[in-house]
Structure 1
Amino acid sequence: MSTDRPNSMSKEVKPESVSLRPLGTAAAHEQELLCIFGTGDLGRSLGQRLLQSGYGVVYGSRRPNSCGPVPQGAKVMSHEAAAQSASLVFLCIRREHYDFLATLERQLKGKVLVDVSNNLKKNLYPEANAEYLQRLIPGAHVVKALNTLSAWALQNGPSDANRQVYMCGNSAEAKQAVAEVATKLGFSVLDRGSLTAARELEDIPLQLFPEWRLPLRVAIGLTTFFFFYVVIRDVVYAYVDQGKDISFRIMVSLANRVFPVVSLIMLSLCYLPGVIAAFLQLYRGTKYKRFPDWLDRWMLCRKQLGLLALGFASLHVLYTLIIPIRYYVRFKIAASTISKMKENQTSPFDTTSAWRTDSYYSMGILGFCLYLLLGITSLPSVSNALSWREFSFIQSKLGYLTLFFCTFHTYLYGWDKFLRPSYYKWYTPPAYMLCLVVPSVVIVLKLLILLPCVDRSLTRIRQGWERTDPEDDSKKSLLT
């Protein structure tokens, strides 16, 4: 540490006397003091968490007597005095306010500066905030950390969704000090290397649903395709062929055809990559070869595909519930009833239709309930409370059962319509027929995997067995 302090400061707490040793090595009776620059929402929340974790907190402010409320137990000083009192300083201020730190270069020399700032958009500045800070205060040890946390997460404690935090810096000792503080706050720290990674860390909060982009594109693409498909087959066909204007059905009737179609396809897309991966392992005879990149990306977004599928299924349920109160439906029922009364006609009870409709509704209800169960167990707070076997049972076995119920529900809806030429408008099949292709393929392939001979081979491969030479069983080995 530097020893160029004048003797006139012997009564003050000298910065060079504050070591960069791991903060957790202090004696039990000694309260470690940390400094925070900034008394905004983030600064106050961070101070509250530090106080709850047993640290002492001092705030540095340009207006110590009128900086606003701070957590009870924290002190407020000028920037100079606060910087001298602690070896670790959290900068909860924006980059445009960094210039005043240049006047504190002497007080901040040798200190650990934790930059938690973010920008409003990417590439706003030519260099990362942390790199600019290191250039501004070359004698300090700058660490980029905690910038992916919100004030809410700091105030309420880490949850499963935001437990992991990232950091980077050029000083290993400084990063160790920050990591110990973050760990004591309840977070899991991932070191991303030197300060050159700061730009990448600062871009993380600016990303908009990065894991949802592919599932959203799939959902939007399927919705757009099937919407225009049913509009052409129903609305345009009725107007061209029969001269009828039924465009009013777009808002409810046609929407309620698109939602279940997209939902069923996206649910089957959740389980199709697992089936493909199983057959790929059987073909290769090993589990130690990487899957293709496209299959890896597909498998990593299955959760998002499933949640979007659940959203479309929920819309289908809501739209179905309002069918009895629609003007068009009430008008058709009233017109049909009056017509039969005038003609003194009655419709005989059809037991087959009763069985079909009751089975259709029953499969739909069971499928949607299992749908909800899959969605609930995908939440981190619920999945973390389950063992791996329980989670796998629900997401895999009950997931395939959900797919079966929903597919059977669609088959019952179609019944024998595929035999009637009138349903093939302009020689195109109904939308429900198209949506049955992917789930039917998934179910058939899964049944093939469940065959004893196939399942036995796949189980051995997943336990470590490799097929080195199909013609020589003596070369087959079980890896441990």
Structure 2
Amino acid sequence: MPDEMARPLIRGRGGGGGGSRHLEASVSEPGAPVIGILGTGDFSRSLARRLVASGYQVVVGSRAPKRSGALFPEEAEVTSQMEAANQADLVFVAVFPEHHSTLVELKPALAGKTLVDVSNGLQIKLDGPSHAEQLADLFPESFVVKGFNTISAWTLQMGPRDGSRQVFLCSDSHKAKSSVMQLCRRMGFVPVDMGLLSSSLEIENLPLYLFPSWRIPILCTLLLFIFFYLYNFTRDILQPYIKSGKSVFYKMPIETVNVTLPSVALVMLALVYLPGLFAAFLQLWWGTKYNRFPNWLDRWLTGRKQFGLCSFLCAVLHAIYSLCLPLRKSAHFKLLNAAFKQVKAGTGGRVG
């Protein structure tokens, strides 16, 4: 259906009114722009609640207003798409990108107005045009702003303190982008100017990247594990075999891994605190805390949480492996004891 939101809701509670008790509706302020929303999906409902709670007058355009009215706050007016387009000063286009063409009949009503495209793609696109650029081609007399596609419906319902605060925005119209930035701040979010509408493809690809900030911490964890494992393998297994012919290769899957994990956990934990020391040293050296850190240090500081979680994972695995060792020795003892009893019983029978 064209009225469905272009992004799925991360649900915290069932039903359309799950986050209503977390948002207290406030009376719309005089002079505040009327915000229109085209679409009645999960994201649209959460957006309407956040806008109403921020003091905006909200009008929702639906293909079936009577059926959709109960899903929205009482303060929001649910009407036809044409009526919503006529009333609104700024319009959120919250329909699937493939249904943007169904809105062409609204072109006269949307002329000269700001359109905020919140849609996302299903896969990463390396070449344009983006959905926002296609929307701009459909509505050449409107001012298209790409934004809010990285904000989940859950974040809109629960508030920015429980989710990402940054809203990435881009547009060819500075005035339209400024108006959306003001709206973002009033909703409690932090707008990030990404430049012209040509940056919209990059913004649309952002939600599709799988753990982008985890790449370096995971790579460091793997490299450290390989280094310490090879060191322990050489010292505890390979060296005794070469010197005295003692074969202890059975230690490789459990004992060697168990000795390696705490070393990796400690080094990763050190990498959590080390950038803070570098930052403090630079601030003391500069004599001010207002200088910008180098890019490498800034990325390191923002990735400390990932480094810490990787360290914690290694520590947990070390605990699991430590529990496996006595279980393995116990099973080995029971096997030898059973074999000894069988041999003893067989020997006693032949003597008798």
Alignment partner of 1:246 is 2:246: no
Matches within 5 A, 1:90-169: 90-123=92-125, 126-159=128-161, 161-169=163-171
Alignment check: 8 A CA contact 2:170 2:193 kept: yes
| Amino acid of the structure 2 residue aligned with 1:42 | F
In structure 2, what is the equivalent of residue 313 of structure 1? 315
In structure 1, what is the equivalent of residue 19 of structure 2? none
In structure 1, what is the equivalent of residue 11 of structure 2? none
Q: How many pairs are equivalent?
A: 307
2:218 to 216, 219, 235: 216
Q: CA shift at 1:43, angstroms?
A: 1.0
Distance 1:184 1:291 in 2: 29
| Amino acid of the structure 2 residue aligned with 1:246 | Y
Distance 1:302 1:66 in 2: 48
Distance 1:44 1:84 in 2: 20
Unaligned residue ranges in structure 2 (runs of 5+): 1-26, 341-352
In structure 2, what is the equivalent of residue 42 of structure 1? 43
| Amino acid of the structure 2 residue aligned with 1:173 | K
Alignment check: 8 A CA contact 1:89 1:113 kept: yes
TM-score of the aligned structures, taking structure 1 as reference length: 0.55
| Amino acid of the structure 2 residue aligned with 1:60 | G
TM-score of the aligned structures, taking structure 2 as reference length: 0.73
Alignment check: 8 A CA contact 2:33 2:90 kept: no
| Amino acid of the structure 2 residue aligned with 1:184 | R
Distance 2:182 2:292 in 1: 36
Q: CA shift at 1:168, angstroms?
A: 1.8
Which one is further off, 272-281 or 191-200?
272-281
Matches within 5 A, 1:316-327: 316-321=318-323, 323-324=325-326, 326-327=327-328
Which one is further off, 53-62 or 26-35?
26-35
Change (3 A) 1:81 1:173: same
Alignment check: 8 A CA contact 1:148 1:165 kept: yes
| Amino acid of the structure 1 residue aligned with 2:201 | R
Q: CA shift at 1:234, angstroms?
A: 5.1
| Amino acid of the structure 1 residue aligned with 2:223 | G
Q: CA shift at 1:31, angstroms?
A: 7.2
Q: CA shift at 1:59, angstroms?
A: 1.9
Which one is further off, 193-202 or 225-234?
225-234
Distance 2:52 2:280 in 1: 51
Alignment check: 8 A CA contact 1:238 1:245 kept: no
Change (3 A) 1:308 1:171: same
Matches within 5 A, 1:172-251: 172-231=174-233, 241-242=245-246, 246=250, 250=253
Alignment check: 8 A CA contact 1:144 1:167 kept: yes
Alignment check: 8 A CA contact 1:101 1:137 kept: no
Distance 2:174 2:28 in 1: 23
Q: CA shift at 1:76, angstroms?
A: 2.5
Q: CA shift at 1:40, angstroms?
A: 1.2
Q: CA shift at 1:223, angstroms?
A: 1.9
Q: Secondary structure at the match of 2:255?
A: coil
Unaligned residue ranges in structure 1 (runs of 5+): 1-25, 340-480
Change (3 A) 1:255 1:57: same
In structure 2, what is the equivalent of residue 468 of structure 1? none
Distance 1:34 1:105 in 2: 17
Distance 2:237 2:210 in 1: 37
Change (3 A) 1:118 1:308: same
Distance 1:314 1:160 in 2: 27
The root-mean-square deviation of aligned C-alpha atoms, in Å, is 3.6
Change (3 A) 1:295 1:80: closer
